[in-house]
Structure 1
Amino acid sequence: MHLPFSQACENNQAPILEVLQRHFAGSRRVLEIGSGTGQHSVYFAPRMPHLDWQTSDLEQNHPGIRAWHAQHPAPNLHAPLPLDLSQGGWPAGNFDAVFTSNTAHIVSWPLVQRMFELVGTHLPEQGVFAIYGPFNYQGGFTSDSNRAFDAMLRQRDPESGLRNFEDIVALARLHSLHLAEDHPMPANNRTLVFVKNG
């Protein structure tokens, strides 16, 4: 099979890894929501061998993820499970960490809300949720490139677009997820790290 490829997945993998290695140091089983092509999983899993890395996505994306896994196998890398936020399901198994990349600005806001509800419900106390992507701050764009990206997204799908950092933090708090760190990333992206506590 021809490997699906996303340049966005390739960008900033090393800086994201640096954040995850620190915040997932005490974790054992990670669920990746929206594994996409699978590129992130084959990069992160072998570099964090103490973790079981569980991929997930819509079922139509599973063949591409499996193809990347076949080319870059790792003993702690697991074949994708079906996860459709619009259906509201949560994969079987216990996870003490969750990672998602470039999802919040692609799916609709109700699905972002559903994602945080699911993560807040299923993560244990002190579980970690890391979310990577571009965000607005105080209702404004942090760069001209983010402004143009947002316009492109909304033209393609009016339900998508960059989310406000403050709205994400407030949404997380509703589900007992509290902001631990906000990491600046290259190319005007961020990695937000939340910890579950009552």
Structure 2
Amino acid sequence: MNELEQAWQNFAPSCERNKAVIWQTIKPYLADKQSLLEIGSLSGQHACYFSGQLLRLSWQCSDIAPNLPPLTANIKAHGSANVLSPIELDVANTLHWPKTPFDVIYTANTLHIMSWLHVIECFANMSVSAKSGTLFIAYGPFNFGGKYSSESNAEFDIWLKERDSQSAIRDFESVDDLAKQAGMELAANIDMPANNQLVVWQFN
């Protein structure tokens, strides 16, 4: 374990690898925004890095209850003043969603980890924390037309399902349908390194 890994609880190597390229891609979408809710912050590495680049953006981390203690510790150790204390958020629990709307809702590498039922509930409940014009930005792998976008994604999907039968790379079209049902329109679908996508939807 190197010094960087020792400095973080629940350290995610993928967050370290992808944070710079994600930041450069989402930066234009955050330029005039004031508040952001992150779903599934886990270690908080993205939150601490991104928020430090844009200090006027209030960044609200969230995660399920077991992940909150290490997330809180990481934010205290590495976060800027604009990173708020994390909140518990089970996306399937309507009562967990903040009632004050955010300008942006962001998540990375969560839609393929949570169950499909939770993906459905996430989109169904998201409007509680949104308003007209709110952006939902999601980063991670997707299938298109029912097919894997790469051999590595096919292998990754097998690994996901062996680890947890409820996890899987999601079909973009199915997720986009959920977004439409929730009152969102697709604003951008951007190819990212390592066969990932950065998808932006906007609430009507």
TM normalised by structure 2 equals 0.91
May I ask how many residue pairs the two structures share in their alignment?
197
Q: Which residue of 2 aligns with 1:182?
A: 189
**Cα displacement (A) at 1:54:** 0.4
Matched, 1:76 2:82: yes
Cα distance in 1 for residues equivalent to 2:177 and 2:88 = 28
2:135–2:200 contact (8 Å) kept in structure 1: yes
**Cα displacement (A) at 1:68:** 1.5
Between 1:144-153 and 1:12-21, the stretch displaced more is 12-21
Query: Residues 4-153 of structure 1: matches in 2 within 5 Å?
Result: 4-88=10-94, 89-153=96-160
2:92–2:122 contact (8 Å) kept in structure 1: no
Any gaps of 5 or more consecutive residues in structure 1? Answer: none
1:81–1:91 contact (8 Å) kept in structure 2: no
1:24–1:128 contact (8 Å) kept in structure 2: no
Cα distance in 2 for residues equivalent to 1:21 and 1:115 = 24
2:12–2:43 contact (8 Å) kept in structure 1: yes
In structure 2, relative to structure 1, the CA distance for the partners of 1:2 and 1:120 (3 Å cut) is closer
**Cα displacement (A) at 1:2:** 6.0
1:83–1:90 contact (8 Å) kept in structure 2: yes
**Cα displacement (A) at 1:121:** 4.0
Q: Percent identity?
A: 37
Greater RCO (CA < 8 Å, at least 6 residues apart): 1
SS in 1 for 2:107: strand
SS in 2 for 1:30: strand
Q: Which residue of 2 aligns with 1:156?
A: 163
1:38–1:64 contact (8 Å) kept in structure 2: no
Cα distance in 2 for residues equivalent to 1:50 and 1:24 = 10
* C-alpha distance after superposition, 1:47-77 (max 9, x if no partner): 1212100000012111211222122131111
Cα distance in 2 for residues equivalent to 1:70 and 1:167 = 38
2:38–2:61 contact (8 Å) kept in structure 1: yes
Cα distance in 1 for residues equivalent to 2:157 and 2:23 = 25
Cα distance in 2 for residues equivalent to 1:144 and 1:75 = 42
Any gaps of 5 or more consecutive residues in structure 2? Answer: 1-6
SS in 2 for 1:141: coil
**Cα displacement (A) at 1:120:** 3.1
Instruction: For 2:11, give the aligned amino acid.
Output: F
Q: CA RMSD in A?
A: 1.5
SS in 1 for 2:155: helix
Cα distance in 2 for residues equivalent to 1:185 and 1:125 = 27
Which has the larger share of helix?
2
